[in-house]
Amino acid sequence: MQNNKTITQVEVPEVVVQRLPIYVRILSQLLESHIEIISSHQLGELLQITPAQIRKDLSYFGRFGKQGRGYNIQFLLDELRQILGIDRAWKACLIGLGRLGRAIINYPGFSPEGFEIVAAFDNNVAQYNSNLGTITVQSMDEIAHTVKEKNISIGIVAVPSNQAQSVIDTLVESGITGILNYAPIAPFAPKHIVMRNIDPVLSLQSMTFYMKENDEIN
Amino acid sequence: MQNNKTITQVEVPEVVVQRLPIYVRILSQLLESHIEIISSHQLGELLQITPAQIRKDLSYFGRFGKQGRGYNIQFLLDELRQILGIDRAWKACLIGLGRLGRAIINYPGFSPEGFEIVAAFDNNVAQYNSNLGTITVQSMDEIAHTVKEKNISIGIVAVPSNQAQSVIDTLVESGITGILNYAPIAPFAPKHIVMRNIDPVLSLQSMTFYMKENDEIN
């Protein structure tokens, strides 16, 4: 326990946790524009939620705004980054270097946010062992050893669907605690593993629920 | 209103709507394995939620299981597909044909699920006008005309961040009702637009909230 404001994950609705990184992104953009204070009304417009929802979201973590004076952006940003655990760097490894995997390893957005891909694995080492900058592609046999040696916390899974569950099992056995899965499966992992699926089809299928209603209203 | 079980989006928590496509995927896999009936206990294990949560999720939409007899998978699947609006086909267009856009248009997972990319736009028409099968890349000037002409509902945005908001504005003006945005921005759209962001950094940042807690417990 690092401070007296410790929050347990049970208390905070998952939808709030999913929204906090968007707060961070918007507050960072404001700060870059040299804006220092923002009202919950203004922040609500940017986030497209009500000021009441913002106050409720933040109330899980303490009091951030002074009545009638708005939020100090730098302070709120620092606190949210600490709450989310993104005030530190996280080591990740990538498994699978097909078309998707290569797009991921070349994606410039991870590193500035503190997520560093420090290892990459594929069964076809020879094919992919070039053009990856400082990273040397390793055989999948080496996942467990490397994850422990480099103290890697996050596994990014970009293998074909039929290999994904087996790769996830290996990552779990290796001591990984977070998995970002791109394979379009419904993967299984023990409860202590934090898993997110990046799956555009699932996203589209949860959109049409609302679009269908729009259709019916029109 | 198509039937007497009409559900309004307000009544159903968004987290439930996001979970329903995962039900659909798992139930489809079971059906392919010739399994016809499943208990909420078994389904809970596959979904990694409690049987009570499953009953609560489904209770928003009526009664699906008979006490002590489990769920008829085909029936539940058909109902969920209708509820989600994925018992019909949806037309989509893709904007941006850089590395990400080309990976999206070549992704084989959309079409079998009823999401058909029927048009593609990029400012650099000449560069990308090959290797796209039946789709001819059009200039971005043609978005509005083509969206109306082809009756497209969904826009998939894969342009660089600095172009994304302007593309989203164009899509909204064209009459699109759903946007799947891959650009790492916090985009704005009017309330009647259903938007999902595919953003691995946001996913990672909502994972570390829970991973940090694991760390502290250990």
> Which residue of A82, A212, A213 to mutate against B (max B Cβ within 10 Å)?
A212
Residue A131 has pLDDT above 70, yes or no: no
- Give me the pLDDT at residue A106, please: 85
Rounded to an integer, the average pLDDT of B100-106 is: 86
Percent helix, strand and coil across chain B, each rounded to 5?
Answer: 50, 15, 35
The better pLDDT of the pair A188, A69 is held by: A188
Residue B29 has pLDDT above 60, yes or no: yes
Give the whole-angstrom CA distance, residue B147 versus residue B154. 9
The Cα of B190 is separated from the nearest Cα of chain A by a number of Å equal to 9
- Give me the pLDDT at residue A48, please: 82
Q: What confidence tens digit (pLDDT) does each residue in A30-45 have?
A: 999 999 999 999 999 8
**Which of B204, B151, B196 is CA-nearest to residue B174?**
B151
- Give me the pLDDT at residue B8, please: 59
Structure tokens at B133: 């099968």
Reported as a pLDDT band with limits 50, 70 and 90, residue B217 is very low
The Cα of B177 is separated from the nearest Cα of chain A by a number of Å equal to 7
Is some CB atom of chain B closer than 8 A to the CB atom of A50? no
The better pLDDT of the pair A3, B72 is held by: B72
- Give me the pLDDT at residue A62, please: 83
The better pLDDT of the pair B103, A173 is held by: A173
Is some CB atom of chain B closer than 8 A to the CB atom of A123? no
* Mean pLDDT taken over chain A: 88
- Give me the pLDDT at residue B196, please: 92
Reported as a pLDDT band with limits 50, 70 and 90, residue B165 is very high
* Chain B from 124 to 143: CB within 8 A of any A CB: none
Least confident of A61-65, A91-95, A197-201, B86-90: A61-65
Question: Which residue is associated with the tokens 């799947």?
Answer: B180
Reported as a pLDDT band with limits 50, 70 and 90, residue B133 is confident
Residue B7 has pLDDT above 60, yes or no: no
- Listed in order, the ranges of chain B carrying CATH 3.40.50.720 are 90-199
* Chain A from 159 to 178: CB within 8 A of any B CB: 177-178
ipTM: 0.88
Rounded to an integer, the average pLDDT of A16-40 is: 93
Highest mean pLDDT among A1-10, B62-71, B162-171 belongs to: B162-171
Residue A140 has pLDDT above 70, yes or no: yes
List, in order, residues 6 or more apart from B186 with CB less than 8 Å away: A22, A25, A26, A29, A46, A47
- Give me the pLDDT at residue B2, please: 39
Identity of the residue in A8, A99, A215 whose CB atom sits nearest the CB atom of B213: A8
Q: What is the pTM of this model?
A: 0.83
The better pLDDT of the pair B103, B17 is held by: B17
A-chain residues within 8 Å CB-CB of B14?
15
Written as one string, the DSSP assignment of chain A is: --STT---TTTS-HHHHHHHHHHHHHHHHHHHTT--EE-HHHHHHHHTS-HHHHHHHHHTT---SBTTTBEEHHHHHHHHHHHHT-SS-EEEEEE--SHHHHHHHT-TTTGGGTEEEEEEE-S-HHHH-SSSTTPPEE-GGGHHHHHHHHT--EEEE-S-HHHHHHHHHHHHHHT--EEEE-SSS-----TTSEEEE--HHHHHHHHHHHHHHHHHH-
- Give me the pLDDT at residue A125, please: 77
Least confident of A67-71, A196-200, B162-166: A67-71
Reported as a pLDDT band with limits 50, 70 and 90, residue A15 is confident
* Mean pLDDT taken over chain B: 88
B-chain residues within 8 Å CB-CB of A201?
21, 109-110, 113, 115
- Give me the pLDDT at residue B185, please: 85
- Listed in order, the ranges of chain A carrying CATH 1.10.10.10 are 14-84
Is some CB atom of chain A closer than 8 A to the CB atom of B17? yes
List, in order, residues 6 or more apart from B85 with CB less than 8 Å away: A208, A209, A211, A212, A215
User: How does DSSP classify residue B110?
Assistant: S
- Listed in order, the ranges of chain A carrying CATH 3.40.50.720 are 90-201
Do the strands B37-38 and B71-72 form a parallel or antiparallel pair, or are they unpaired? antiparallel
Rounded to an integer, the average pLDDT of B107-135 is: 84
Give the CATH number of domain A90-201; options: 3.30.930.10, 3.40.50.720, 3.30.70.20, 1.20.1630.10.
3.40.50.720
Tally Cβ neighbours within 10 Å of residue A48: 15
Superfamily of domain B90-199: NAD(P)-binding Rossmann-like Domain (3.40.50.720)
B-chain residues within 8 Å CB-CB of A85?
208-209, 211-212, 215
Q: What one-letter code names the amino acid at B178?
A: G
Reported as a pLDDT band with limits 50, 70 and 90, residue B11 is confident
A-chain residues within 8 Å CB-CB of B106?
99
Q: Three-class SS string for A90-150?
A: EEEEEECCCHHHHHHHCCCCCHHHCEEEEEEECCCHHHHCCCCCCCCEECHHHHHHHHHHH
Is some CB atom of chain B closer than 8 A to the CB atom of A4? no
The better pLDDT of the pair B213, A192 is held by: A192
The Cα of B66 is separated from the nearest Cα of chain A by a number of Å equal to 25
Identity of the residue in A26, A209, A211 whose CB atom sits nearest the CB atom of B153: A211
H or E stretch at B180: strand B178-181
- Give me the pLDDT at residue A144, please: 96
Fold of A14-84: Arc Repressor Mutant, subunit A (1.10.10)
> Which residue of A23, A211, A215, A218 to mutate against B (max B Cβ within 10 Å)?
A211
Reported as a pLDDT band with limits 50, 70 and 90, residue A213 is low
Handedness of CA A186, A190, A191, A193 (dihedral sign): negative
